[in-house]
């Protein structure tokens, strides 16, 4: 049986996930933050950039923002994972790279027992409310610096262009109007394209339809708002869902839990 907990931590830029998955499968999706997944037991398989990967106990799965991927258990017994979801500005301040293109990783799976134990200790520490101020100050250096130094890599400053605009500009526009009924014609006009041209170029750039991409963006934002203590009806209105029931159903389909289970 699935057991999934989404938790806040004493560091606002780090959120935590405890997940035991058997039948629940993540459809193709992306995140707005970095996900560091610690496979505690079982095996997980996922598709990323056209390649298949399998991770098992002791593996560290590194997933940067905006990378389209899926995920499911490889066998019937399922898998257990602990995840640290880290905001990009917070994490990249510890990178030695001066690249303005962002931070990626050489491989999505790392098998280093020392790094695994360090990050697992961090997850367990942040799961408690009794963490000293000095411990919170040291966590970034103790837990993430080695990962970034050993496995991080600068990303190219080149971004996918859709018409005359970058995907980042489109996302900024959408985030500023998330509570509105956004139409394909609006996005196409923003990029100086026809709706048909925009739809085709967008799918080539992201691997998703504009509608699926927008829905995911709304759900990513809704998770942030739920963690901030907003009610489900408030979040539904702020993120552009028709009503609370529609929002709750979409949320459960993507995260495996109802909004009321978010702490």
- CATH number of the domain that residue 210 is part of: 1.10.10.60
Residue 143 has pLDDT above 90, yes or no: no
Residue 141 shares a structural domain with residue 67? yes
- Give the per-residue pLDDT at 96: 64
User: Which residue(s) pair with 85 in the sheet?
Assistant: 15, 35
Residue 150 shares a structural domain with residue 165? no
pLDDT interval class at 74 (50, 70, 90): very high
Which H or E run contains 38?
A: strand 34-42
Number of domains in the chain: 2
| pLDDT-above-70 percentage for the chain | 95
Whole-angstrom distance, CA of residue 204 vs CA of residue 215? 18
Residue 117 shares a structural domain with residue 238? no
Structure tokens at 194: 């026809």
Structure tokens at 93: 């301040």
Residue 119 shares a structural domain with residue 179? no
Of the candidates 154, 188, 206, which is a domain's last residue? 154
List the CATH number of the domain containing 113: 2.60.120.10
Residue 159 has pLDDT above 60, yes or no: no
Whole-angstrom distance, CA of residue 91 vs CA of residue 140? 8
Residue 45 shares a structural domain with residue 166? no
| Domain membership of residue 252 as a residue range | 161-261
Contact between 170 and 190 under an 8 Å Cβ cutoff? The reply is: yes
Closest alpha carbon to 164 in 199, 195, 194, 190: 190
Contact between 103 and 64 under an 8 Å Cβ cutoff? The reply is: yes
Of the candidates 154, 176, 195, which is a domain's last residue? 154
- Give the per-residue pLDDT at 132: 85
Whole-angstrom distance, CA of residue 201 vs CA of residue 205? 6
Residue 21 shares a structural domain with residue 130? yes
What's the whole-number mean pLDDT along residues 119-129?
Answer: 90
DSSP state of 140: I
Closest alpha carbon to 258 in 210, 209, 219, 206: 219
Which strand ranges, in their side-by-side order, compose the sheet holding 3-7? 3-7, 14-21, 79-86, 34-42, 60-63, 109-110
* Residues 6 or more apart whose Cβ sits within 8 Å of residue 7: 15, 16, 17, 18, 127, 263
Q: Say which residue, 251 or 132, is predicted with more confidence.
A: 251
Residue 98 has pLDDT above 70, yes or no: no
| Cα 199 off chain centre by | 24
Whole-angstrom distance, CA of residue 231 vs CA of residue 237? 10
């Amino acid at each position: 049986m699935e057991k999934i907990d989404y938790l806040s931590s004493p560091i606002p830029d780090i959120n935590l996930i405890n997940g035991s998955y058997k039948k629940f499968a993540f459809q193709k999706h992306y995140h707005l933050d970095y996900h560091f997944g610690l496979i505690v037991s079982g095996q997980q398989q996922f598709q990323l950039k056209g390649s298949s990967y399998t991770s098992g106990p002791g593996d560290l799965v590194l997933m940067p923002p905006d990378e389209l991927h899926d995920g499911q258990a490889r066998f019937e017994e399922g898998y257990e994972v602990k995840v640290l979801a880290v905001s990009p500005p917070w994490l990249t301040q510890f990178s030695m790279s001066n690249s303005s293109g962002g931070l990626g990783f050489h491989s999505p799976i790392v098998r280093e027992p020392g790094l695994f134990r360090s990050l697992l200790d961090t997850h367990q520490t942040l799961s408690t409310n009794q963490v000293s101020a000095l411990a919170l100050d040291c966590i970034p250096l103790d837990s993430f610096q080695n990962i970034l130094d050993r496995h991080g890599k600068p990303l190219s400053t080149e971004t996918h262009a859709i018409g005359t605009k970058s995907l980042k500009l489109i996302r900024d526009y959408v985030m500023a109007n998330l509570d509105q009924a956004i139409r394909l014609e609006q996005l196409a006009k923003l990029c100086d394209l026809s709706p048909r041209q925009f739809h085709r170029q967008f799918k080539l750039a992201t691997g998703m339809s504009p509608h699926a991409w927008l829905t995911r963006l709304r759900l990513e934002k809704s998770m942030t708002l739920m963690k901030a203590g907003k009610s489900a009806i408030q979040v539904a209105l702020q993120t552009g869902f028709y009503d609370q029931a529609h929002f709750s159903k979409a949320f459960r389909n993507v995260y495996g839990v109802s909004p009321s289970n978010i702490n």
